[in-house]
Amino acid sequence: MTTETIFAGFGGQGVLFAGKLLAYLGLNQDKQVSWLPSYGPEMRGGTANCSVCLSDSPIGSPYVTEPDVLIAMNGPSYDKFIESVKPGGIAIIDSTLVTKECTRTDIHSFRIPSTALAAEHGLPGMANIILVGKLLKETGIAVIDAVRPTLEKLIPPKKANLIEANMKALAIGMAL
């Protein structure tokens, strides 16, 4: 089985990091994984996105064109990718920044005010992780206990204080 995910938003919202977290979770489960970022002018203040594939077999195309799961963190990213989600797939949308209601009825869409929730809980810049929490809940890709060792690997030691904040943000997302 293969799960293909696109994370998309503004540069600076942590979409590439959120994708890396998912890729590392797959790595720790001995899955085949790939992570492909957008690079270039779009990273510098414009839209950023990354494709993440998790699979039990070798991954062909790392370039995702029809995602099983979309995480959209701003309006332009939502507009760009919402139609490409596979029927039966999942869209997790930051409703603080995406004002449009999702009109697709053939996918499971979740509107989560993650930017507002992050601010409310004193977790600035962690809207991305709240959405990853929701992704883990809806896909069952990993349980929350599996995330801590992954975060410890991914976050450099000098920023270790961020691990607790990330865990808190994940828990918020998983409770929604």
Partner 1 sequence: MERNLMKGNEALAEAAIRAGCKCFFGYPITPQTEISAYMAKRMPKVGGVFLQAESEVAAINMVYGCASSGVRCMTSSSSPGISLKSEGVSYMAGSDLPCVIVNVMRGGPGLGGIQPSQSDYWQATRALGHGDFQILVFAPSTVQEMADYMEKAFDLADKYRMPAMILADGLLGQMMEPVTFRSDEIRHPDPADKPWATNGHGNKRKHNIVNSLYLQAEELEELVVQRFKRYEIVKSELHEAECYRTEDADIVVAAYGSVARLAKSAVDSARDAGIKAGLVRPITLWPFPEQEVKAACKNAKRVLCVEMSMGQMIEDVKLALDCRLPVDFYGRTGGVIPKPSAILEQIKILNEKGAE
Residue ranges that bind partner 1, judged by CB under 8 A: 20, 23-24, 27, 30, 32-37, 39-40, 59-63, 65-66
Cβ partners under 8 Å of residue 173, min gap 6: 112, 114, 129, 130, 131, 132, 133, 134, 135, 136, 137
Closer Cβ to partner 1, 23 or 136, answer by number: 23
Pairwise CA distance, residues 58 & 56, whole Å = 7
- Least distance to partner 1 from the beta carbon of 12, Å? 19
Q: Which amino acid is at 155?
A: I
Closer Cβ to partner 1, 34 or 115, answer by number: 34
- Least distance to partner 1 from the beta carbon of 81, Å? 14
Pairwise CA distance, residues 94 & 72, whole Å = 6
Closer Cβ to partner 1, 51 or 115, answer by number: 51
- Least distance to partner 1 from the beta carbon of 86, Å? 12
- Least distance to partner 1 from the beta carbon of 31, Å? 9
> 108 has which bridge partners?
90
Alpha helix (H) residue ranges in the chain: 15-28, 75-81, 114-120, 127-139, 144-154, 162-175
Closer Cβ to partner 1, 81 or 97, answer by number: 81
